[in-house]
Amino acid sequence: MNNAFQISTTYRLDQLEKKTRSLEESLALLGQKQLSLEKVSDHLVKTNNIKIEVVEKPVIEVSKDIMRTIKIRRKDNVAERYAAWEKLDRAGVRASEIAKAFKCDHDSVLYAKRNGFKSGWMARSERKGLEA
């Protein structure tokens, strides 16, 4: 019983030492400022079986027509803006990046997302309890 415990403990220590050496090598490579991101990622993939994918940031361009109507809250303008936000959201663009491109608060994008990008706009005369 004691011998089996000693063997398993020795095995675990060996595994931890191997992992520690591998991570120390990775840290040493990261410490060298002249290495490019590709070399570091290649080394990490080879030593630790880690898959690293470098993704470039998408460039978001907003048409001038939409930007002109950004402050006008008419039903068609809001629906058009929400449709653009929905397409960008489905493409995987973060809400903060969408908000920067549209020059608005990111909570506006999150609010639209929570509501399924459906406009809740209605004329004042259509609201309950309010008269035109």
DSSP state of 17: H
Residue 129 has a pLDDT of 60
131 falls within a domain:
no
What is the tens place of the pLDDT at every residue in 68-101?
A: 666 677 777 788 888 888 988 888 888 998 888 8
The Cα 20–Cα 16 span in angstroms is 6
Instruction: Please count the other Cβ atoms lying within 10 Å of the Cβ belonging to residue 113.
Output: 15
| Domains contained in the chain, number | 2
56 falls within a domain:
no
The reply to whether 84 and 40 lie within a common domain is no
User: If you average pLDDT over residues 120-132, what whole number do you get?
Assistant: 60
Residue 50 has a pLDDT of 59
Quick one: which of 92, 61, 67, 97 has its CA closest to 81? 67
DSSP state of 41: H
58 falls within a domain:
no
The reply to whether 81 and 114 lie within a common domain is yes
Angle in degrees, CA 8, 12, 15, rounded to 5: 140
Residue 26 has a pLDDT of 79
The reply to whether 43 and 89 lie within a common domain is no
74 falls within a domain:
yes
- pTM of this prediction? 0.47
The reply to whether 120 and 68 lie within a common domain is yes
Residue with tokens 């008419």: 74
Tokens of residue 67, six digits? 């930007």
The reply to whether 21 and 70 lie within a common domain is no
The Cα 95–Cα 129 span in angstroms is 34
Residue 79 has a pLDDT of 84
Confidence at 107, pLDDT banded by 50, 70, 90:
very high
The reply to whether 44 and 71 lie within a common domain is no
The reply to whether 44 and 73 lie within a common domain is no
What is the tens place of the pLDDT at every residue in 16-75?
A: 898 888 888 877 777 665 556 777 777 777 777 655 566 666 667 777 777 766 667 777
Residue 110 has a pLDDT of 93
Contact 54, 44 (CB under 8 A): no
Q: Structural domain of residue 32, as residue ranges?
A: 2-48
Residue 101 has a pLDDT of 85
